Amino acid sequence: MRGLLLAEVGDSMVEFDVYGKPGESGYRVGQRIATESLMPPGSSKFAPPPRKALSAPGPVIGSMASLATSATLFDVDVAHAQSGPEIMALLGNSNSGLKPGATGHPRQALRNVDSSGDLGTDFKPIALEKAKWRSRVEVDVILENHTCVQGSYLKGTVKIHIKKGSKKNAPLLLSQGKVRVVGFECIPQKDSKCTFYKYSALLSEIAPSWKGLFKSPPDDDGWAEAQEGVHVFPFAMLLPPDGGCGIAKGVLSINSGVAIKYVAMAEIKVKDSASSKESIAHFYRDCEVWPRLDVVSTLATNSRPLVAEVATRVFMGGPGKIRLSARIHRFYWVAGQSCTVHFRVVNDCKKLVKGAAIVLIRTLTVFKPKPHLDAGDADPDACQTSTKAKWVTESVLELGQRCSKGHASAKGWWTGVAPGQTSEFDHSLILPPDVHSIARTRLLEVEYTLRINFTKREPWYRKSRITGGDLVETDETVPGMKYARDMTIATDPENADEVPVLNEEQHQDSNTSADSASIYPPSQSADTIG
């Protein structure tokens, strides 16, 4: 009963215990309701470091000058209400255009150092050089490849153009530049963007020829006079394989405005030597970051296959039932490849089973932030959910022809399941190359479901049949995982008269698992996911 007790006080969710012993409650403690962003379980063998409270003071690393001139423009830990407007200001509108006079909002790592040497609390916005009417510093970043995997190198070139000023203009001072990769979720709601992945590196560490940008050595605060002209710096930045900077999830783009995007951004701080006014020159390009997978463990055959069972009566089929058992042999499947399902059909009715199909359905859940839904204390996860299911693809198994007189062969290989017969066979579905499961961080979650249809007449399929009222289905949310699957038996729609099976007639083999499977993105080459 512990799972129910914790759920009553709002501490956790409840999950069905498919491995529970007779006499127990049948429930177990589910996932905890945490205030921080959620990381997908099992997505990485490296655990991210503990998260600190948003109000906690930032660490002081190195000298005061390095802290004062740092440029932390994105923060994975920041609340959604702050993350969305900041991303909009830095990335611009749909055409990447910045508003005139746009500014960036610094975090605690950008606190100014006052004359006494103490950390100040002045969080004044910093002007964006690109948003000025006349900019003296132009930055560009050119990538060798827009696709990268965690644990590999992101390579490219940073181009910085220091324009020649007039005699009235004071010399420009520059501080350390950075290259950063940022991943964020988007939903069709105002300022609804949330950062879930961020990694940055100093140009001095990843670009050996960086010092050619300066005319003079840096002062005590880290500022140096800029050398006019065009400067090009090749760089190679290693993306950490662990989850310290967040877990990459690949890209997602749906017509409704739901998306997961990544940008590679180059930036440098600029200071006017006469007025001491500071600004940030930045430029970004779209890219993709995918998680690194261990091929051996990820694609290994599971010791306990994933099994689902269901049974039903059919109209004019007598008192007997059709019993269906479907099994897949591993948890994870690669997009673009074949997903094989093993079937076992026991036909105790009077009708011949003549058709079967495997349908892949995508379920998209959007978590729209609703701060006014807070029950009392501040809840960064207060939201309103909306779920949409969409038919993705289908593979139909048609009834083959019977042998006939005068013919040495017949069309098709599957001859159906006759009354009183038990049949076992395999059927496969080619997964589209652009599908992959995405666990929730803040705003989005994508799940994929396999649905199995059987009919007692030759199949005629269309999308509306997937969720029609003539289907008897069992939809289970699997303990400990964020993916679901359901199994369905369908009779023909004109004569549907189905009776669902009672719980005691559905059994779970001790050597099988009711966990569900996930779809991973296709690998570009063997070394990208190894």
Instruction: Summarize pLDDT for 444-487 with one digit per residue, the tens.
Output: 899 998 998 877 554 443 333 333 333 333 333 333 333 333 33
Angstrom CA distances, 377 to 174, 374, 381, 452, stand at 43, 7, 11, 45
**Token pair for 13:** 């969710």
Angstrom CA distances, 243 to 165, 182, 199, 409, stand at 44, 14, 11, 57
Buried b (16+ CB within 10 A) or exposed e, 411-439: eeeebbbebeeeeeeebebebeeebbbbb
In which band, very low, low, confident or very high, does the pLDDT at 79 lie, cut at 50, 70 and 90? low
Q: 31 - beta bridge partners?
A: none
Which whole number is the average pLDDT over 316-328? 86
Which has the minimum average pLDDT: 126-130, 159-163, 390-394? 126-130
**Token pair for 321:** 């039932």
Q: Is 64-290 in CATH node 3.40.640.10?
A: no
Residue 176 CA, distance from chain mean position = 32
In which band, very low, low, confident or very high, does the pLDDT at 373 lie, cut at 50, 70 and 90? low
Q: Which CATH class is domain 295-528?
A: mainly beta
Which whole number is the average pLDDT over 283-291? 93
Q: What is the share, in percent, of the chain residues with pLDDT greater than 70?
A: 60
Q: 201 - beta bridge partners?
A: 179
Residue recorded with tokens 């005691």: 504
Q: What pLDDT shows up at residue 266?
A: 93
Q: What pLDDT shows up at residue 110?
A: 41
Q: How many Å apart are CA 480 and CA 516, to the nearest integer?
A: 10
Instruction: Summarize pLDDT for 420-443 with one digit per residue, the tens.
Output: 999 999 999 999 998 999 988 888
Which has the minimum average pLDDT: 47-61, 232-246, 515-529? 47-61
Angstrom CA distances, 472 to 244, 306, 451, stand at 45, 20, 11
pLDDT at residue 178 greater than cutoff 50: yes
This model's pTM is above 0.75? no
pLDDT at residue 263 greater than cutoff 50: yes
Q: How many Å apart are CA 140 and CA 222, to the nearest integer?
A: 23
Q: 12 - beta bridge partners?
A: 32
Instruction: Summarize pLDDT for 109-120 with one digit per residue, the tens.
Output: 444 444 333 434
Q: What pLDDT shows up at residue 287?
A: 95
Q: What pLDDT shows up at residue 381?
A: 66
In which band, very low, low, confident or very high, does the pLDDT at 64 lie, cut at 50, 70 and 90? very low
pLDDT at residue 352 greater than cutoff 50: yes
DSSP track, 457-510:
S-----GGGTT-TTEEEEEEEPTT-S-EEEEEEE--GGG----BPPGGG----T
CB atoms within 10 A of CB 405: 4
Q: How many Å apart are CA 98 and CA 132, to the nearest integer?
A: 9
In which band, very low, low, confident or very high, does the pLDDT at 221 lie, cut at 50, 70 and 90? confident
Least Cα distance to 364 among 445, 433, 296 occurs for 445
pLDDT at residue 495 greater than cutoff 80: no
Which whole number is the average pLDDT over 154-165? 91
Instruction: Summarize pLDDT for 333-350 with one digit per residue, the tens.
Output: 999 999 999 999 999 988
pLDDT at residue 78 greater than cutoff 70: no
Least Cα distance to 459 among 402, 409, 416 occurs for 416
The domain segmentation of the chain, as residue ranges, is 2-32, 64-290, 295-528
Q: What pLDDT shows up at residue 141?
A: 94
Residue recorded with tokens 């997009």: 335
pLDDT at residue 520 greater than cutoff 70: no
